[in-house]
């Protein structure tokens, strides 16, 4: 037998409790308290009683919405085909938690329906292929297993014993045996060179690898457990040294969090449990930075349109449980909420303060991202994406610079207050597909100033916001009163804006969203300069701001033909940019950014701030620091006995081995 060894984490070791607790207790008012898996204090972030009570009230509301708890039970989702358990398993577990036990357990113990009977015959009819199904199978077994019939539990345990005898990612399927390039889809009929869904997007990899680890640990298949542990360690090492490849997705971020909640809850090895907590602390810090009143702010990877407008999308639905907004009490459902409700993990107070913007504002934070598929090379030589976030009292503005294009990255978004509890979003792009960065465009930012510049497109420039008011044109400038947040925009080679109709899909889903377009002129480059101000800041009123901006701001277009623009805002701060092939040249208050300088590469770092809000160096200490609202978090992931360079070489070798063992380049 081969043994795959990783040096132990520099974490303490001890015995864990393993007895399965009851799922809930009923309180005098009829509401439920979910009893998560028992967790020693050393594995937990400190949580106040008031926060825990608010969390409980929120999940009780969601339980009622999901199941009809307290009235007539809703129908339990019974979809079974291929990965349809991504919906039915969480739905069934929520019913069990709410008290509708028998119908829920019937779904959880029914035979899965694969694409073909040969897919899961060798695992007794239990689906251990699809990643989204594995995400549900793990929590189903470890948290709800005591409610299973003896026959089904024995069958399930026999299935995971067989499945983890060898690492399923590196073991051919017993029926299909090899990869079939002529087959379609994502099942074993095509990927017969393995026994699980091996796609290597971060969220799917987390689902499958966590399942392999936990089931191998439960079955006692130590070789498989150690190998899966090494794969998890490699991923968490990347989080703490180069960042998250599938970064800050308003769609997928909850999907990568959910399996690590399960790993945190049920890993027996204390080191693995603490490693899972380190991953969660990282993921929740990223979410807190982008969370503005429960609406996603700033740039994002794997963005599918305007999912983040006004508390929309999986990000908003999932993190509302953790990051509440006073007065915001009704959100749509998202299946990963099950994992949040049932887990023992809670974010640290410093993360909660950061999410609520309970800190000294404004603050600028530079955020750098690796290659999306950084695992193909083992690690990134330097960041691919250089993001700037500006956290103010009434808005969060974010933009991202990178060389070339990026088909599913939204490079620019501002989320700002609307009324007492609501939010609004503003974004722009040189094409109608606002959730993609074109190689012709670059966007630079210095605190509350933004410059967008790119080669002129044939189509109109697009501006979109969620609702409320209209832009006005005064001379060479456009102004918008967003209530507590004020916008002044100076177009670069763009005609006056005109209202435009939404697409049919967006008009149906988000009819409140407004769109305007502007036609480029004859110059080779086009874009805009933007300044943000807020009520209670430098200016006493919106009118005072617009008057000062018209008098004091300056836009230098003398080198526009060479792709260079300079911008001075109303307060005298400046931002300049020159675009050409690769990364642009950027000057912030006259100081040029050096994107080749390692000091610019930190995963997170606070800039020009009187207090260090968030800090995580690039390939450095492996220590994440968060400081907000008087609370501090220090979370670390370090491999004992190795220098950072040695660790990186080890991870590179491990990723190469991972590719070689699968026999197929697209994992």
pLDDT in tens, 149-162: 999 999 999 999 99
- pLDDT at 659 (0 to 100): 41
pLDDT-derived band at 470, boundaries 50, 70, 90: confident
Residue with tokens 């015995």: 15
Is pLDDT above 90 for 497? yes
550 Cβ contact list (under 8 Å, min separation 6) = 474, 475, 477
Average pLDDT over residues 85-98: 96
Residue with tokens 């290597």: 200
Ranking 45-54, 87-96, 655-664 by mean pLDDT, the lowest is 655-664
- pLDDT at 7 (0 to 100): 34
- pLDDT at 377 (0 to 100): 60
Is pLDDT above 90 for 24? yes
Three-class HEC string of 254-312: HHHHHHHHHHHHHCCCHHHHHHHHHHHHHHHHHHHHHEECCEECCCEECCCCCCCCCCC
The answer to whether the CB of 661 falls within 8 A of the CB of 170 is yes
pLDDT in tens, 440-462: 999 999 999 999 999 988 889 99
Average pLDDT over residues 345-374: 95
Is pLDDT above 80 for 3? no
Average pLDDT over residues 483-503: 94
Q: For the chain, which residues make up each domain, given as ranges?
A: 353-635
Is pLDDT above 60 for 663? no
Ranking 147-161, 427-441, 485-499 by mean pLDDT, the lowest is 427-441
pLDDT-derived band at 323, boundaries 50, 70, 90: very high
pTM flag (> 0.75):
yes
- pLDDT at 149 (0 to 100): 96
- pLDDT at 209 (0 to 100): 97
- pLDDT at 459 (0 to 100): 86
pLDDT in tens, 265-298: 999 999 999 999 999 999 999 999 999 999 999 9
591 Cβ contact list (under 8 Å, min separation 6) = none
Specify the DSSP element, H or E, that contains 567: strand 564-568
More confident residue, 16 or 243: 243
Mean pLDDT of all residues in the chain?
A: 90
Share of the chain above pLDDT 70, in %: 90
More confident residue, 403 or 662: 403
């Amino acid at each position: 037998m081969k043994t795959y060894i990783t040096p132990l984490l520099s974490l303490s070791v001890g015995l864990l409790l393993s007895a399965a607790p009851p799922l809930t207790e009923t309180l005098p008012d009829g509401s439920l308290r979910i009893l998560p898996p028992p967790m020693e204090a050393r594995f937990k972030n400190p949580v106040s009683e008031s926060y825990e009570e608010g969390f409980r009230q929120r999940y009780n509301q969601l339980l009622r919405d999901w199941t009809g708890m307290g009235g007539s039970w809703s129908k339990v989702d019974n979809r079974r085909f291929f990965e349809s358990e991504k919906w039915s398993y969480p739905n069934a577990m929520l019913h069990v938690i709410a008290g509708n036990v028998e119908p829920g357990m019937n779904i959880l113990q029914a035979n899965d329906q694969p694409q073909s009977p040969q897919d899961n015959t060798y695992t007794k009819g239990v689906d251990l292929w699809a990643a989204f199904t594995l995400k549900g199978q793990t929590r189903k077994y470890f948290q709800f297993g005591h409610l299973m019939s003896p026959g089904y539990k024995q069958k399930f345990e026999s299935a995971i014993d067989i499945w983890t005898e060898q690492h399923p990612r590196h073991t051919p399927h017993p029926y299909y045996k090899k990869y079939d390039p002529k087959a379609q889809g994502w099942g074993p009929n095509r990927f017969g060179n393995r026994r699980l869904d091996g796609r290597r997007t971060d969220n799917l990899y987390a689902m499958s690898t966590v399942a392999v680890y936990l089931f191998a640990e439960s079955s006692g298949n130590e070789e498989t457990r150690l190998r899966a542990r090494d794969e998890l360690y490699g991923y968490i090492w990347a989080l703490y040294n180069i960042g998250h490849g599938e970064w800050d997705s308003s769609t997928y971020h909850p999907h990568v969090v959910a399996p690590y909640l399960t790993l945190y809850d049920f890993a027996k090895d204390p080191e693995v449990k603490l490693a899972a907590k380190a991953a969660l602390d990282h993921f929740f810090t990223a979410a807190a930075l982008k969370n503005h009143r429960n609406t996603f702010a700033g740039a994002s990877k794997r963005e599918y349109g305007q999912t983040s407008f006004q508390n929309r999308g999986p990000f908003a639905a999932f993190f509302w449980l953790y990051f509440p907004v006073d007065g915001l009490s009704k959100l749509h459902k998202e299946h990963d909420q099950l994992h949040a409700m049932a887990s023992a993990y809670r974010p640290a107070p410093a993360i909660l303060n950061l999410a609520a913007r309970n800190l000294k504002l404004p603050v600028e934070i530079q955020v750098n991202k690796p290659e999306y598929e950084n695992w193909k090379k083992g690690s990134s030589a330097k960041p691919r994406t250089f993001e700037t976030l500006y956290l103010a009292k009434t808005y969060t503005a974010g933009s991202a610079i990178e060389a070339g294009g990026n088909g599913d990255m939204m490079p620019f978004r501002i989320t700002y207050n609307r009324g007492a509890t609501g939010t609004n979003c503003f974004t722009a792009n040189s094409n109608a597909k606002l959730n993609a960065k074109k190689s012709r465009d670059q966007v630079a930012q210095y605190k509350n100033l933004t410059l967008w510049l790119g080669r002129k497109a044939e189509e109109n420039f697009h501006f979109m916001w969620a609702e409320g008011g209209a832009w006005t044109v005064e001379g060479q400038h456009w102004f918008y009163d967003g209530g507590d947040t004020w916008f002044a925009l100076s177009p670069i080679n763009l005609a006056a804006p005109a209202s435009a109709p939404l697409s049919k899909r967006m008009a149906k889903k988000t009819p409140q969203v407004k769109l305007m377009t502007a036609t480029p002129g004859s110059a080779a480059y086009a874009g805009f300069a933007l300044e943000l101000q807020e009520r209670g800041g430098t200016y006493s009123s919106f009118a005072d701001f617009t008057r000062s901006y018209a008098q004091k701001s300056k836009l230098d277009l003398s080198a526009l033909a060479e792709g260079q623009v300079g911008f001075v805002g109303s307060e005298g701060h400046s931002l300049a940019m020159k675009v050409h092939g690769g990364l642009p040249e950027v000057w912030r208050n006259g100081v040029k950014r050096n994107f080749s300088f390692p000091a610019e590469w930190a995963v997170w770092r606070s800039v020009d701030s009187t207090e260090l809000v968030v800090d995580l160096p690039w390939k450095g200490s492996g220590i994440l620091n968060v400081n907000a609202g008087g609370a501090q978090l220090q979370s670390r992931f370090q491999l004992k006995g190795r220098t950072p360079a040695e660790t990186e070489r080890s991870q590179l070798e491990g990723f190469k081995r991972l590719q070689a063992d699968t026999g197929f380049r697209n994992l």
